[in-house]
Structure 1
Amino acid sequence: MNVAQINIFVGILLEEDENRNFMRIQRRRLRDELNPFDLTNNAFRQMFRLDKNSVYQLINSLLPHATERHILSGIPFTTKVFATLNFISTGSYQNSVGCNSWISLSQTSISRSIHYICELIVNHLLQQWVKFPITPEEKFFVKNGFYEKYNLRGIVGAIDGTHVDILAPPETDENFPPFVYINRKGKHSINVMLISDSSCKILACSARFPGSTHDSAIWQISGIRVHLSRSYFEGDVSSRLIGDSGYPLEPWLFTPFLQPANQAEEQFNALLTTGRNVIERTNGVLKGRFRCLSRHRALIYSPDRAANIIYTCCVLHNIALHANLILPEEEIEHYREDNVNRHDQHNNDLLHIGRNLRNNYIRENIII
């Protein structure tokens, strides 16, 4: 290649570089000039799954906790929030979110934004928005909801597990061995424990355990179980969860009769099934509203980052309920993950107490 050809080649490269810089500047200018708050209400909710007022309050709640570096960076803080919401809501790949003209960011910027905003939400809003009832007043409110809707007394929540598919961790990952994340369907997932009230509000969430972990094992080391156990032995014998046969029968957790022996036990099972429908619906609304959790998709992240996204979705779910944002029935993901194996009870003392309490409950509340 002679000097003239080299000069022509260098000129082409410089021109291409100038064009890329020009497009990058134009994209940034377009992003900064467009404001998602200018969208119609319906378009805004479709894109971000929250209304404008909820997103405005979310941004104001996070701003005091944002570092100066992130506030003063080249990407506006609000754009980072919108990018995260759009990704979580649609379940699209990061490049697709970045190409949205209302957001217009590179894939790496989208990735950093999602990680940062989810961390902010988990660290500063999770305990505020996802709270298990502790005080007598809080418990009474939840119990009253289950009694009015399902004619069930003393219920402070419905519990169930649901799987969220994730990317298989690398074979060399010592912190997250990939084989433990393989669930019974042969997919890599996180087994998420959810507890909801009678209105589908999420009261507790645990996204710490791999897909191979059984629901009952997650429950055994749950902080909620520790609290309910302590409360029971301190005198609160009228507060309990309801769960399916994948959980152990305990004084603070009622499960159905595996083989009902009479009409009263059958009626109890029917009541319990009706009340438990709320946690299945909660799971359906959560995954239908935030499609990154849908069973048709997978979180292409390491387990710890995937867990932060799950917790973030739980916070946003409760924010949406607080704003009375009703998800259309056709968007709710109707899917039931039945426990194929019943729980084998190991603590005979708790089983005996649980059976007595369940029988007493039937005598006092089931009318034949």
Structure 2
Amino acid sequence: MAFALPVWLAVQEKLLARDEEDWPAPNCFDEFDDEALEKTFHLTRACLAFIRDAVRGRMKKYIPKKPALSLDVMLMVALNYYAQGRSSDDVLQRVGLSQCDCPAVISTVSGVIAGMSDQFISFPLLQEAKANVASKIESMCGIPDVLGVLAPAHFKIKTNEKDACRAFVNTLGYASVVSQVICDSDGNILSVEKLHRWFSIFSDFVLIVLYCVSPKGGKGYHLSKHVLTPVSEPANDNEIRFNKAHAKIHNVMRTTLGYMKRRFRCLKQLGFAQEGSLDKKSNIIKTCCVLHNIAKKFSVPSPPLTDDKDSVALCPVLAMST
């Protein structure tokens, strides 16, 4: 993400284009003081205002008819769920909803925000942007021509049916959904897609050298000039130095996912899933990536570390702890 904050604010103007008569906009986030906002939503007031305006513009296109609930109510319930991993009783009492009402609201808002990923998650395409990203990564770890850190990140789910459970269980022994995540050296999410999508799109670009952060060499990926993995059994000083450099870039992804996991506790456990519900879970993951990038642009501080031992895995053989 190489865009400066003014550019993002300019994007906001394009996203709005709203009719206030159709979308009355009393801001119920104003009912919270700054401390309560950060505790409840893990976001600052300025960041929430930006998200609210951006979502309003998108919501009009996503839901042509005026919904039964106001935008603020829907957004408040969803953002609270992303931050806490469940809908807080205090928030539900404020908006007059029950826990049973939440899944439909969260699904709707997640679909809207995930659809905004083209505006807020961008892989470098222009030569200057590529060179800028690669230069920062080279300065950090010493390896040139690297455009991003790649990880197949697993997020825990629950399953009710044994057949579905077998379909979702990974080699760590728990059920999960997986997204291919790419970030830059600053922890901005550049892509969150289905596995291997970027390899086909950027196969002709020499500068596309993505890291697969697997300690066993990323055997699930087609090894090519576009994927750079650790040396599984280093035999000389050069290979040892390369693995140390690789470990530095590896830690960027670990730190980024740990940061997201603290801000969006829903990523620790995405709840129950069945065979046909993966799109909803994927939308939540993509939504959290969009919100992560927005939070970084507004320099929202990271929530404090917790003693929780739940983990988000980078790949089937490597669990991440915060």
1:283 shift after superposition = 1.1
Q: Distance in 2 between matches of 1:336 and 1:61?
A: 29
Q: Which residue in 1 is equivalent to 2:16?
A: none
Letter of the 1:81 counterpart: L
Q: Which residue in 2 is equivalent to 1:18?
A: none
- Match of residue 218, structure 2, among 234, 246, 253: 246
Q: Distance in 2 between matches of 1:49 and 1:71?
A: 30
From the superposition, tell whether residues 300 and 104 of structure 1 become closer, same or farther in structure 2 (CA, over 3 Å): farther
Q: TM-score, normalised by structure 1?
A: 0.69
From the superposition, tell whether residues 97 and 225 of structure 1 become closer, same or farther in structure 2 (CA, over 3 Å): farther
Cα distance per residue 1:178-200 (max 9 Å; x no partner) = 42111123322102221110011
Query: 1:198-209 alignment to 2 at 5 Å?
Result: 198-206=185-193
Cα distance per residue 1:226-282 (max 9 Å; x no partner) = 123222xxxx3x431122312454211111111112111111110111111101111
Structure 1 unaligned blocks of 5 or more? 1-31, 209-217, 343-368
Query: 1:282-297 alignment to 2 at 5 Å?
Result: 282-294=256-268, 297=269
CA RMSD of aligned residues (A): 2.9
- Match of residue 265, structure 1, among 232, 236, 239: 239
Q: Which residue in 1 is equivalent to 2:124?
A: 133
Q: Which residue in 2 is equivalent to 1:8?
A: none
Matched residue SS, 2:94 = coil
| Partners of 1:88 and 1:291 within 8 A in 2 | yes
Cα distance per residue 1:48-94 (max 9 Å; x no partner) = 122112221212112223249787444221111011000111002x4
Q: Distance in 2 between matches of 1:315 and 1:160?
A: 17
Q: Which residue in 1 is equivalent to 2:52?
A: 59
Identity of aligned residues (%): 23
Letter of the 1:203 counterpart: L
Q: Distance in 1 between matches of 2:137 and 2:267?
A: 27
Matched residue SS, 2:147 = strand
Q: Which residue in 1 is equivalent to 2:104?
A: 112
Instruction: Tell me which of the two structures has the higher relative contact order, counting C-alpha pairs closer than 8 angstroms and 6 or more residues apart.
Output: 2
Q: Which residue in 2 is equivalent to 1:91?
A: 85
Matched residue SS, 2:36 = helix
From the superposition, tell whether residues 136 and 97 of structure 1 become closer, same or farther in structure 2 (CA, over 3 Å): farther
Structure 2 unaligned blocks of 5 or more? 1-24
1:78 aligns with 2:78: no
Q: Distance in 1 between matches of 2:127 and 2:300?
A: 28
Matched residue SS, 2:204 = helix
Q: Which residue in 1 is equivalent to 2:301?
A: 326
Q: Distance in 2 between matches of 1:196 and 1:320?
A: 15
- Match of residue 299, structure 1, among 271, 275, 278: 271
1:115 shift after superposition = 1.2
Query: 1:160-309 alignment to 2 at 5 Å?
Result: 160-168=151-159, 170=161, 177-206=164-193, 218=195, 222-231=196-205, 236=206, 238-243=207-212, 244=214, 245-247=217-219, 248=221, 249-294=223-268, 297-301=269-273, 302-309=277-284
Question: Which structure carries more helix by proportion?
Answer: 1
* Number of equivalent positions: 284
Q: Distance in 2 between matches of 1:50 and 1:71?
A: 29
Q: Distance in 2 between matches of 1:137 and 1:33?
A: 42
1:333 shift after superposition = 7.8
From the superposition, tell whether residues 170 and 304 of structure 1 become closer, same or farther in structure 2 (CA, over 3 Å): farther
From the superposition, tell whether residues 34 and 260 of structure 1 become closer, same or farther in structure 2 (CA, over 3 Å): closer
Larger Rg: 1
1:129 shift after superposition = 1.1
1:133 shift after superposition = 1.4
1:41 aligns with 2:34: yes
1:314 shift after superposition = 0.7
| Partners of 1:289 and 1:331 within 8 A in 2 | no
1:168 shift after superposition = 1.6
Letter of the 1:224 counterpart: W
Cα distance per residue 1:139-177 (max 9 Å; x no partner) = 1121122123223321100111221122326468xxxx4
